[in-house]
Structure 1
Amino acid sequence: MPRAGRLLTMDTAGYSKWGGGLEDVPGGCWGRWGRWGQRLLFLGLVLAVATVLWALILNILVSKASTERRALLGHQDLLRTNGLGTQKLLQRARTELGEAQAKLIQQESALKELSDRVTQSLAEAGRDREGIRTELFRALEAVRQGNSSCEECPESWLPFQGSCYLFSVQRATWEASQQNCAAAGAHLVIVGDLEEQGFLSRNTRGRGFWLGLRAVRRAGKIQGYQWIDGVPLSFSQWNTGEPNDSMGREDCAMMLRTGMWNDAPCENEKDNWICEKRRSC
């Protein structure tokens, strides 16, 4: 065969061997499917490993969540138990407080009742004292009328029911007025009844006069009034709205121009005073 014919034959044979036909590829169709199978197997292994890892992670998370849930439930039970104990303590404290308040109210009621009884007893004692003094004055007056040896009242002093009264023309504080009366052997007037009150009112001559009456003050509050001899007040002739303890400093009593009584500051120097002393027979 000529040279050109051989070359053509070799080229054709080469094409037939390495051409694009499937039957001429090494391994053929099965070789290509084998490579895809390897890839699929690798992917399957990767997915299996990922699935196992996710399952492991989920198992760990679920286990941790379960542990935390049990811990929370335990704390909840503990809080519930402590809450019940606290409620019982609070209920017991409320009960004890109610009992203490009831006892306190009962004691206050008993104390008030005792105070009322004491006040009533003092008032009755004061009325008895005034009654005895009135009867004594009347007896002394009767003796005086039948016995000329009774001492007359000093000059400028007015007699009434066995006593002598001085209506001062000077003005002074309550304390200074009492000192002036004591220097004359007397004391600030003690008003025992309506008759004596009428006698004093008739002789005030439109001026104000200190009386021998002061407030009894405890813890800044007035508890009552008593005369200069320590006897609690029983008879009184207070003016309307008095005593009012204005500004918390009116501890002394005085007689207004009308004859009615008023409470006033003891350091007031605008009032006169009335002294009283017993006549001696």
Structure 2
Amino acid sequence: MFPGASLCSLCGAPGAAVGPGGWGWECCSHIPSGGEGGLAVAWQAEVPPTRIMSFLGLGTTAKLQTTLTELGETQAKVLQQESALKELQERVTQGLAEAGRDRENVRTELFRVLEGIKFQNGSCEPCPKSWLTFQGSCYFFSEPPSSWEASLRLCANLSAHLVIIGGLEEQGFLSLHTRGLGYWLGLRAVRHSGKVQSYKWIDGAPLSFSHWNTGEPNDSRRQEDCVMMLHSGLWNDAQCSSKMDGCICEKRRSC
């Protein structure tokens, strides 16, 4: 039990008082005269902000600075890893694209060699009348204008398909026979989320050789999904519903 005088000397005189260093408090006490009842003390303290910072000390500030530094280093490492991952993804994508082109080139060349052997043996049937012959294929230039879908059906009715151009030699041959007209090709755009991502031939093969006109393909109004050959031989993307061009049908010679 604390004597009343000692408690008051700790709290100061009853009422408001100012402690060391500018601390302020209010203290009131009730000290029973006997040994029972204990001690009841109520106090309030107001501590200045500068005193709080002093109480926390420089150690806490140093730890905070160290934590911030470590956080900055971690963020830098994460950014480096993200950059490395993005570069790796780009390399993989490029490698797959190159592998696809190489595969198509090998397939085309092998097919030409096999066809050449068959021709030398004289075992292949000639192309139908009004069809042109080039490297084992027969080509029919249909001049009446029609849509891309209608051209697709026309070629199918002739036991053929819209032309698939495999390289510069075939392109050069076709360019010589346009007769100043435009023709649909068997090439369409592949869209994702409304945007053209790539082009594929009607047999599912990805586009490896192209002969686009300057500024093409431009996907005007995001509606040009089909590809046609201009009279110059250069390619242009156009709306599939357009009925301004004919089409080129192709089929392999029967051997």
TM-score bracket for this pair, using the shorter chain length: 0.7 to 0.9
Could you report, residue by residue, the CA deviation over 1:82-110 in whole angstroms, capped at 9, with x for unpaired residues? 87666555444433322222111111111
Distance 1:83 1:185 in 2: 83
Range with bigger deviation, 134-143 or 97-106: 134-143
Cα 1:156–1:92, aligned 2, differ >3 Å: closer, same or farther?
A: same
Number of the residue aligned with 1:67: 23
Q: CA deviation at 1:200?
A: 1.1
Report how many aligned residue pairs link the two structures: 221
Amino acid at match of 2:47: A
Is the aligned partner of 1:105 residue 2:61? no
Q: Which residue of structure 1 aligns with residue 12 of structure 2? A: none
2:148 maps to what in 1?
174
Q: Does 1:212 align with 2:181?
A: no
What is aligned with 1:160?
A: 134
Structure 2 residue runs of 5 or longer lacking an equivalent are 1-14, 25-44
| Bigger mean CA offset, 163-172 vs 120-129 | 163-172
User: Percent same amino acid among aligned pairs?
Assistant: 44
Q: In the alignment, residue 240 of structure 1 is paired with which amino acid?
A: T
Q: Are 1:237 and 2:215 counterparts?
A: no
Q: 1:122 aligns with which of 100, 118, 125?
A: 100
Which residue is equivalent to 1:53? Answer: none
Contact 1:126 1:233 (8 Å CA) reproduced: no
Structure with the largest fraction of helix: 1
Aligned partners of 1:151, 1:208: CA distance in 2, in Å? 29
For residues 176 and 74 of structure 1, do their structure 2 counterparts lie closer, same or farther at Cα, with a shift above 3 Å needed? farther
Question: 2-side partners of 1:86 and 1:249: how far apart?
Answer: 58
One-letter amino acid matched to 1:122: G
* CA distance in structure 2 between the partners assigned to 1:78 and 1:250 by the alignment: 73
Cα distance in 1 for residues equivalent to 2:61 and 2:220:
55
Aligned partner of residue 273 in structure 1, secondary structure: strand
The CA deviation string for residues 229-256 of structure 1, in whole angstroms up to 9 with x for no partner, is: 2222222222222223333333322100
Structure 1, gaps ≥5 residues long: 1-58
Q: Structure 1: how far apart are the matches of 2:193 and 2:129?
A: 44
Indicate the SS of the match to 2:143. Answer: coil
TM-score normalised to structure 2 length: 0.72
**Residues 205 and 121 of structure 1, relative CA distance in 2, 3 Å threshold:** same
Q: 1:1-281 counterparts in 2 under 5 A? A: 62-63=18-19, 66-68=22-24, 71-72=47-48, 73-77=50-54, 89-143=67-121, 146-147=122-123, 150-281=124-255
- Letter aligned with residue 67 of structure 1: W
Using the TM superposition, give the Cα deviation of residue 60 of structure 1 relative to its aligned residue in structure 2, in angstroms.
Answer: 5.2
SS in 1 for 2:204: coil
Other structure's SS at 2:172 match: helix
Offset, 1:163: 1.5
Whole-angstrom distance in 1 between the partners of 2:202 and 2:55? 72
**What is the TM-score normalised by the length of structure 1?**
0.66
Cα pair distance change 1:103/1:165, threshold 3 Å:
same
Letter in 2 for 1:76: M
Give the number of the structure whose alpha-carbon radius of gyration is greater. 1
Cα 1:78–1:134 change in 2 (3 A) is: farther
CA drift at 1:220: 3.9
For residues 133 and 158 of structure 1, what CA distance do their matches in structure 2 show? Answer: 19
Q: Mean Cα displacement is larger for which, 71-80 or 244-253?
A: 71-80
Query: Shift of residue 176 of structure 1?
Result: 2.7
- CA spacing shift, 1:64–1:74, aligned 2, 3 Å: closer
Taking a change above 3 Å as real, the CA distance of residues 84 and 187 of structure 1, as seen in their structure-2 partners, is farther
For the residues of structure 2 that align with 1:246 and 1:126, how far apart are their CA atoms?
A: 29
| Partners of 2:92 and 2:166 in 1: CA distance | 27
Confirm or deny: 8 A CA contact 2:211 2:235 kept in the other structure.
yes
